[in-house]
Structures are given as structure tokens and as C-alpha cells.
């Protein structure tokens, strides 16, 4: 399974970066192949200062070795070996009318002293972080997520949509990071779902990413915007940074397993603001976004 999934994310990285380069039209992805001393490595691809993307990364990695003591405590296991692979992406468009997007699809195994697999699971999801709310964008993104889920189980979308709302939440701000999408983790074999079936589901979601995001991006990247709207984008990017550094489990796992810092923190936007005690104007489009971030919305039924 680990070989099958790693080959899948290699191909997915190629298809996503190729499409995004066509959309940008000016910048291309810089590729960085790296090795992890303890075992494994990855292929980082970053695009910066383009016509569309101010910064973006589409990274894959496959790492293995002894599970560090800090993560043994987290997973409540003893001295075990592990393998983890996944694709992680974050895209920050320049235009504040175009949303930031994040996605991640991953696979994990743990082994005993004899090298036997003692645990394995999939995880991942995709979520949208707009700076200005366009309801048709939110509906399109969530409908695409639901369509991918419904091909495998009609219960998946409502369950994983709620998990996304719960997970991507800046509890210290009492607001969501964005308008959600899907989040699933610890997807293990059961009598109802084999690992092959979980692979089919996760790859279905991964294959849906471009369909979910590209139409939104292409509608918004040429819209006019003001310097005030750009300032709002940078203030909201600050909330994005706060989540990734304070709450995100993927960031924690990467840092605690001696991951590559540049790849782990590629999600951070280049231009961001923290304005003291900032509040949007009453009844403005900015306040409209905040109201939605305070209470999750059911975008599709």
C-alpha cells in the first residue's frame, strides 16, 4: 500500500503543478529534492511572485525510521518504526478576491521489531480560506467535495465536513480559519472498509482537487481590488499563520520528526499583517466574512 500510494501522490503532484503553471502563465514551480538523514525524503515544489500566485507549494514526502519519543507518547505506542508519506499543498493567490486553498492526503504505517505492520491508516482533506465571501464559490467547493464522498459512502461528506469545521478552528479567536471542506484521519480497515477501499476514497478526493478549486480561481483572479482590500487579505492571512503555528498537527508532526523546515513552513504567506485589535466596519463585506467564520454554514444538502 505504501508503494502504491506514494506512486499516486507523485503523479498527482505532477498533474496539479502542471495545471497551476498554465493558470499562472508567468512563474513556474522551483523543484527541490531533499533527503532526511534518518530515512526518506521528498520533492518540494514552490511557486513565488507569479502573475496569479504570490506563493504556493505542492510538496510530497516519504519518510521512515524510528518513531521519536515525543511522537511515541502522542500515539501511545512504545519503541516502533514508522513510514509516512503524503502530498501537502497551500496556494496563496495575489488577488484578495481569490481564496487561499489547502489540501493534504497522507498514509501512515507503524511496525514492530520484526518489521510487521502493526497499524496503518489514511488521512487528509481539502479546505478553502476566502478573504471575501462569494457564496457560489463556497457551494461549488463543497458540492465537489460531496460528490467525491458520495461515490463511496453518503455518510462521509456530513461527517468529514463537520470534522473540518471542528479542526480548522482558531479556538483562541473563536472563529474558523476558512469555510471548510473535508477533513478525515485515522481511516483504518474495518469490516465495512478495507484499506483498498480507503485508498480508492482518498485518491477520489485527491483527484477532485483541481475540479474543486480551479473554476473558483479562474473566476476571481482578474477581479479589481483596492489597497484596503489587500490590507484585509494580509490581516486574514495572519489568522492563517496563527492556526498553522499554534494548532496544526501536521506542522507538529513535521517538526517533531526532524522534517525539513522549509517544506513544513512553505504554507506561510510572504506578506501578512497583525493589526492591534482590528475590527471590520459594521455591515461591510469584511464583517460578512467574520459572521460566517463564527458559525459554520451548511453550504450543500
Residue 10 sits at φ, ψ, to 5 deg, of -60, -45
pLDDT at 291: 96
- Which pairs from 115-118 meet CB under 8 Å and 24+ separation? 115/81, 118/80
Q: Is 29 helix (H, G, I), strand (E, B) or coil?
A: coil
Q: Is 85 helix (H, G, I), strand (E, B) or coil?
A: strand
Which positions ≥6 away from 224 have C-beta within 8 Å? none
Spans of the chain below 70 pLDDT: none
pLDDT at 79: 87
Judge whether 272 and 241 are in contact, CB under 8 Å.
Answer: yes
Q: Angle, nearest 10°, between helix axes 2-24 and 209-220?
A: 10
Q: Cα–Cα distance between 278 and 232 in angstroms, integer? A: 10
Q: Cα–Cα distance between 182 and 167 in angstroms, integer? A: 10
**Element housing 86 (H / E):** strand 81-93
pLDDT at 78: 84
**Chain centre to alpha carbon of residue 226:** 28
- Indicate which residue of 102, 140, 142, 169 is catalytic: 102
Judge whether 84 and 60 are in contact, CB under 8 Å.
Answer: no
Give the per-residue SS3 of 243-295: HHHHCCHHHHHHHHCCCCHHHHHHHCCCCCCCCCCCCCCCCCHHHHHHHHHHC
* Adjacent-strand bridge partners of 53: 93
User: Which of 275, 190, 201 is closest to 238 using CA atoms?
Assistant: 275
Q: Cα–Cα distance between 128 and 154 in angstroms, integer? A: 22
> Is residue 102 annotated as a catalytic residue, yes or no?
yes
- Which pairs from 183-190 meet CB under 8 Å and 24+ separation? 183/124, 183/125, 183/127, 184/122, 184/123, 184/124, 184/125, 184/156, 184/160, 185/121, 185/123, 185/124, 186/121, 186/123, 187/121, 187/122, 187/123, 188/119, 188/120, 188/121, 189/120
Q: Mind listing the pLDDT tens digit for each residue in 180-219? A: 999 999 999 999 999 999 999 999 999 999 999 999 999 9
**Chain centre to alpha carbon of residue 50:** 21
- Structural domains in the chain, CATH included, are 2-294 (3.40.1500.10)
State the chain's maximal CA–CA distance in angstroms.
Answer: 63
pLDDT at 60: 97
Q: Cα–Cα distance between 64 and 30 in angstroms, integer? A: 25
Amino acid at each position: 500500500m505504501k508503494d502504491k500510494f506514494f506512486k499516486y501522490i507523485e503523479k498527482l503532484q505532477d498533474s496539479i503543478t502542471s495545471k497551476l503553471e498554465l493558470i499562472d502563465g508567468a512563474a513556474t514551480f522551483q523543484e527541490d529534492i531533499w533527503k532526511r538523514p534518518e530515512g526518506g525524503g521528498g520533492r518540494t515544489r514552490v511557486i513565488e511572485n507569479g502573475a496569479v500566485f504570490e506563493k504556493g507549494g505542492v510538496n510530497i514526502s516519504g519518510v521512515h525510521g524510528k518513531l521519536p519519543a515525543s511522537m511515541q507518547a502522542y500515539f501511545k505506542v512504545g519503541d516502533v518504526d514508522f513510514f509516512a508519506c503524503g502530498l501537502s499543498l497551500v496556494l496563496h493567490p495575489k488577488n484578495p478576491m481569490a481564496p487561499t486553498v489547502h489540501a493534504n492526503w497522507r498514509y501512515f504505517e507503524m511496525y514492530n521489531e520484526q518489521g510487521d505492520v502493526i497499524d496503518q491508516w489514511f488521512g487528509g482533506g481539502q479546505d478553502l480560506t476566502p478573504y471575501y465571501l462569494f457564496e457560489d464559490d463556497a457551494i461549488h467547493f463543497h458540492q465537489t467535495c460531496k460528490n467525491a464522498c458520495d461515490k463511496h459512502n453518503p455518510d462521509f461528506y456530513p461527517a468529514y465536513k463537520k470534522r473540518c469545521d471542528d479542526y480548522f478552528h482558531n479556538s483562541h479567536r473563536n472563529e474558523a480559519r476558512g469555510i471548510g471542506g473535508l477533513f478525515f484521519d485515522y481511516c483504518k480497515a474495518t469490516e465495512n472498509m478495507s484499506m483498498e477501499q480507503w485508498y480508492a476514497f482518498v485518491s477520489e478526493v485527491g483527484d477532485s482537487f483541481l475540479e474543486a478549486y480551479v473554476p473558483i480561481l479562474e473566476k476571481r483572479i482578474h477581479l479589481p481590488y483596492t489597497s484596503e482590500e489587500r490590507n484585509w487579505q494580509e490581516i486574514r492571512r495572519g489568522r492563517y499563520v496563527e492556526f498553522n503555528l499554534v494548532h496544526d498537527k501536521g506542522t507538529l508532526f513535521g517538526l517533531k520528526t526532524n522534517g525539513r523546515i522549509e517544506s513544513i513552513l512553505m504554507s506561510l504567506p510572504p506578506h501578512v499583517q497583525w493589526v492591534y485589535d482590528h475590527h471590520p466596519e459594521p455591515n461591510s463585506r469584511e464583517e460578512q466574512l467574520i459572521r460566517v467564520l463564527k458559525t459554520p454554514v451548511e453550504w450543500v444538502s
